[in-house]
């Protein structure tokens, strides 16, 4: 197997194909073998797994996934990588590469088609310029057992944040609605070529089999989340009145009290079940 993380191997390989990194496509390739090995191992990839990889690049993580998974499908937007991937991962019969933008794929349909009888997982060293849309699409597809990704460390901290902490955000609630996050390990800039300016981190999101929050209307719930974090450090009633103008100021205050909260409560201190109580009070008034 070609050791693509070895820069003595990688540099001539890229040069042979006249390949230049694209900043616009978020191309920071791994040059530390322990990272893809640890991602595959800590994600729990085994023969029962069908793994969707986003952005194989020149294949360091793809190799590790193929060594352990039942099947791997890798979606890559940059077709210049095709001859390189032929060399680095061409030997794996359990790999299929799909050329195109992952955000244009119907992920649930793809997983159903490619991973019949396997346990679907997603694994990736994500292109940082579109971390949130890709992660949102993976979670909303609601078809994976787990999603294990490398992202900027501050994004990982935001995903795993607890209510009332500075990192807690609308994106935190969105991710934790779908899955339980666990921070796995940090990856310093020198593990990549070219080096990013920030530290990265690998996080795994175990998708919840059940969401026991009795949310009457998920659209209202997510509208509430957006409204609650749009005005941080303000009373929730202000955000609520702005996000749900049909309630009016008095209605917003009434909803908060009816859900059992103090009128001065702030949105960024609330947990998912607490947001659910408020969302259900709004739903009742429709
Ligand atoms: N997996 C490789 C590694 O760890 O060295 C490459 C990771 S690099 C951070 C991100 C990869 O995602 C690049 O190969 C890039 O071309 C690809 N990519 C960027 N945007 C994409 C998109 N919209 N759909 C699919 N792949 C994309």
Residue (of 192, 204, 190, 173) closest to 42 by Cα position:
204
Residue owning tokens 């597809």: 141
Residue (of 157, 198, 183, 148) closest to 39 by Cα position:
148
The pLDDT assigned to 246 comes to 93
Distance CA 181, CA 202 (A): 11
Residue (of 26, 3, 4) closest to 194 by Cα position:
26
The pLDDT assigned to 231 comes to 84
Regions in the chain scoring below 50 on pLDDT: none
- What would the pLDDT profile of 74-114 be if each residue is shown by its tens digit? 999 999 999 999 999 999 999 999 999 999 999 999 999 99
> Ligand 1 pocket, 67 CB below 6 A?
no
> Is the whole-model pTM more than 0.85?
yes
The pLDDT assigned to 137 comes to 98
Give the nearest ligand 1 atom to 36 CA. Answer: 4
Distance 67 CA to ligand 1 centre (A): 20
Distance 247 CA to ligand 1 centre (A): 44
**Is the CB of residue 85 less than 8 Å from the CB of residue 58?**
yes
Distance CA 261, CA 277 (A): 10
List helix spans (H) across the chain. 7-16, 34-42, 60-68, 82-89, 107-114, 131-140, 153-159, 170-178, 218-230, 236-243, 248-258, 272-284
The pLDDT assigned to 189 comes to 98
**Is the CB of residue 131 less than 8 Å from the CB of residue 141?**
no
**Is the CB of residue 125 less than 8 Å from the CB of residue 155?**
no
The pLDDT assigned to 276 comes to 97
The pLDDT assigned to 234 comes to 85
> Ligand 1 pocket, 214 CB below 6 A?
no
The pLDDT assigned to 79 comes to 98
* Residues forming a β-bridge with 206: 146, 180
Question: With b meaning 16 or more CB within 10 Å and e meaning fewer, what string describes 205-233?
Answer: bbbeeeeebebeeeebbbebbebbbebee
Peptide bond before residue 194 is cis, with ω within 30 degrees of 0: yes
Distance 254 CA to ligand 1 centre (A): 48
Residue with the smallest CA separation from ligand 1 atom 14 is: 57
Q: What is the mean pLDDT of the chain?
A: 96
Which contacts (CB < 8 Å, 24+ apart) does range 111-115 have?
111/50, 111/52, 111/141, 111/143, 111/144, 112/143, 114/50, 114/52, 114/71, 114/73, 115/50, 115/52, 115/71, 115/73
> Ligand 1 pocket, 131 CB below 6 A?
no
């Amino acid at each position: 197997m070609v050791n693509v993380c070895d820069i003595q191997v990688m540099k001539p390989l890229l040069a042979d194909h006249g390949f230049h990194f694209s900043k616009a496509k978020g191309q920071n390739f791994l040059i530390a073998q322990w990272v893809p090995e640890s991602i595959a191992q800590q994600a729990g990839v085994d023969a029962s797994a069908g793994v969707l990889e986003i952005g194989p690049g020149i294949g360091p993580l793809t190799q590790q996934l193929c060594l352990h998974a039942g099947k791997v499908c890798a979606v890559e937007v940059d077709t210049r990588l095709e001859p390189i991937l032929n060399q680095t991962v061409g030997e794996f019969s359990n790999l299929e590469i799909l050329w195109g933008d992952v955000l244009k794929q119907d992920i649930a349909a793809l997983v159903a088609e490619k991973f019949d009888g396997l346990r679907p997982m997603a694994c990736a060293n994500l292109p940082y310029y579109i971390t949130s849309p890709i992660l949102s699409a993976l979670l909303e597809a609601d078809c994976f057992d787990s999603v294990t990704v490398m992202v900027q460390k501050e994004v990982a901290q935001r995903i795993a944040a607890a209510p009332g902490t500075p990192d807690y955000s609308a994106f935190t609630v969105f991710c934790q609605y779908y899955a339980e996050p666990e921070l796995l390990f940090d990856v310093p800039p020198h593990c990549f070529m070219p080096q990013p300016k920030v530290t990265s981190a690998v996080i795994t999101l175990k998708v919840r089999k059940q969401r026991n929050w009795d949310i009457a209307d998920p659209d209202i719930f997510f509208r509430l989340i957006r409204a609650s974090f749009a005005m941080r450090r303000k009373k929730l009633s202000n955000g609520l009145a702005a996000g749900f103008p049909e309630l009016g100021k008095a209605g917003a205050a009434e909803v908060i009290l009816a859900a059992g909260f103090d009128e001065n409560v702030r949105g960024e201190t609330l947990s998912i079940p607490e947001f659910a109580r408020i969302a259900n009070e709004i739903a009742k008034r429709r």
